[in-house]
């Protein structure tokens, strides 16, 4: 169970607004977060991952406190065991597809399975600049899964995929998320996207 109760100031075009979230995420659940641009969706994911800190609140995962502003507890990103799919992929230009996964895990069998899952097994020696947008996005997802995270945070993960690829990947991804029991939070700007696939929704105004 992941419990989040935070307050975080957001820089907005018209002054400042505050992001307030008080929510629990059941183990293995898939939650979609959607809302307009600037509503704090990406910031919310960064707060959970520890890449930025809220002004106030607590974040707990499976009984472990990741963040507590009162008790001054702030677990580093490295220790939170999360997977993060960045909106602009954030792939490493110096690494090939395989090296991205080897950087994250030493489990060769797992790497092989991930490559097959993302249909990137024939492109494993390619660097990101030689991959299409969809292939880069798939690699970003595979890299996030490579560490077998307990919590997967995805920022607009399917935006560059064509409908056919998206359907195939989502189906396989759901299987693997359920198999590993990964709690997943997916940010999307499209209210219709992923409908029927997620267990819960969180709307940012």
Partner 1 sequence: MDLSPIWLTLKLAGITTGMLFVVGVPFAWWLSTGRSFFKIIIEAIITMPLVLPPSVLGFYLLLAFSPQHGVGKWLHNTFDVQFVFSFQGLVLASVIYSMPFMVGPVKSALQQLPASLAEASYTLGKSPWQTFKSVLLPNIKPSLLTAVVLTFAHTLGEFGVVLMIGGNIPGVTRVASIAVYDAVEKMDYASANNYSLILFSITFVLVIAVFVFNKYQAKSPLG
Give contact residues for partner 1 (rule: CB under 8 A): 49, 51, 76-79, 81-84, 86, 88, 90-94, 103-104, 143-144, 146-147
For residue 32, give Cα distances in angstroms to 87, 104, 190, 196, 204.
Answer: 15, 26, 10, 11, 11
- Whether residue 184 contacts residue 2, with contact meaning beta carbons closer than 8 Å, is answered with no
Judged by CB, which is closer to partner 1: 130, or 167?
A: 130
187 forms beta bridges with 33, 155
Judged by CB, which is closer to partner 1: 3, or 52?
A: 52
User: Least separation, in Å, of the C-beta of 91 and partner 1?
Assistant: 8
**Counting beta carbons within 10 angstroms of the beta carbon of residue 142, is it exposed (0 to 12), middle (13 to 18) or buried (19 or more)?**
buried
User: Least separation, in Å, of the C-beta of 101 and partner 1?
Assistant: 10
Judged by CB, which is closer to partner 1: 51, or 73?
A: 51
User: Least separation, in Å, of the C-beta of 153 and partner 1?
Assistant: 8
Judged by CB, which is closer to partner 1: 37, or 76?
A: 76
Instruction: Quote the CA–CA distance of 109 and 165 in Å, as a whole number.
Output: 24
User: Least separation, in Å, of the C-beta of 191 and partner 1?
Assistant: 26
Q: How long, in residues, is the chain? A: 205
User: Least separation, in Å, of the C-beta of 11 and partner 1?
Assistant: 16
Element (H, E) at 200: strand 200-203
SS3 state of residue 184? strand
Judged by CB, which is closer to partner 1: 87, or 197?
A: 87
Distance of CA 120 to the CA centre of its chain: 20
User: Least separation, in Å, of the C-beta of 75 and partner 1?
Assistant: 12
Tokens 């020696």, residue located? 125
Tokens 């809220």, residue located? 54
SS3 state of residue 118? coil
Instruction: Quote the CA–CA distance of 177 and 69 in Å, as a whole number.
Output: 31
Judged by CB, which is closer to partner 1: 49, or 53?
A: 49
């Amino acid at each position: 169970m992941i419990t989040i109760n935070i307050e975080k100031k957001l820089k907005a075009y018209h002054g400042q607004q505050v992001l307030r979230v008080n929510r629990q995420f059941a183990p293995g659940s898939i939650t979609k977060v959607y809302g307009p641009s600037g509503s704090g969706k990406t910031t919310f994911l960064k707060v959970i991952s520890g890449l930025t800190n809220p002004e106030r609140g607590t974040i707990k995962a499976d009984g472990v406190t990741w963040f507590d502003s009162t008790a001054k507890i702030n677990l580093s990103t490295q220790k939170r065991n999360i997977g993060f799919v960045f909106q602009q992929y954030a792939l490493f230009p110096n690494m090939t597809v395989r090296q991205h996964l080897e950087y994250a895990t030493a489990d060769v069998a797992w790497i092989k399975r991930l490559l097959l899952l993302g249909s990137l097994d024939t492109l494993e020696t390619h660097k990101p600049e030689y991959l299409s947008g969809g292939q880069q996005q798939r690699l970003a997802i595979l890299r996030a899964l490579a560490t077998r995270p307990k919590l997967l945070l995805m920022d607009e993960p399917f935006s560059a995929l064509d409908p056919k690829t998206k359907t195939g990947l989502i189906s396989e991804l759901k299987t693997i998320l359920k198999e590993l029991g990964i709690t997943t939070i997916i940010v999307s700007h499209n209210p219709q996207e992923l409908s029927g696939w997620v267990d819960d929704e969180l709307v940012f105004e």
